[in-house]
Amino acid sequence: MNVASWASTIRSKWETVFPRCREADCGSRKMWTRLYWRRAGIHLENSWYCSPQCFEHAVRRSLTCTQSALPSKTQPVRHRIPLGLLMLSRGQLTNRQLRMALDAQRTSGTGRIGHWLEQLGFATEQQITAALGVQWACPVFPISTARDNCEGLLPLPLLEAFRMLPVQFVPATRLLYVAFCESIEYTALYAIEQMLRCRTEACLVGDSAMTDALGLLAESRRPADILFDGCRDAAEMARITCGYALKLGASEVRIACCGEFIWARLECSREPANLLFHRRDTAPQGDTLHLTGCRGSSRPVAS
What is the rounded CA–CA span in Å between residue 140 and residue 130?
A: 7
Nearer to Zn ion (CB atom), residue 37 or residue 228: 37
CA–CA separation, 48 vs 23, rounded Å? 9
Nearer to Zn ion among residue 47 and residue 187 (C-beta): 47
Task: Report yes or no: 156 and 221 within 8 Å, Cβ to Cβ.
Answer: yes
* Minimum CB–partner distance for residue 22 and Zn ion (Å): 8
Residues 41-80 that bind Zn ion (CB under 5 A): 50, 54
Other beta carbons within 10 Å of 125: 16
Cα 88 from Cα 97, distance rounded (Å): 9
Q: Which of residues 3-32 bind Zn ion (CB under 5 A)?
A: 21, 23, 26, 28
Burial class (CB in 10 A: 0-12, 13-18, 19+), 286: exposed
Residue among 50 and 196 whose Cβ is closer to Zn ion? 50
Least Cβ distance, residue 49 to Zn ion (angstroms): 5
CB 27, min distance to Zn ion, A: 7
Counting contacts by CB under 5 A, is residue 93 touching Zn ion?
A: no
Of 15 and 281, CB closest to Zn ion: 15
Residue 280: Cβ within 10 Å count: 14
Instruction: Kindly state the smallest distance separating residue 194's Cβ from Zn ion, in Å.
Output: 24
Residues 255 and 274: beta-carbon distance below 8 Å: no
User: Which of 21, 238 has the CB closer to Zn ion?
Assistant: 21
By the criterion CB under 5 A, which residues form the site for Zn ion?
21, 23, 26, 28, 50, 54
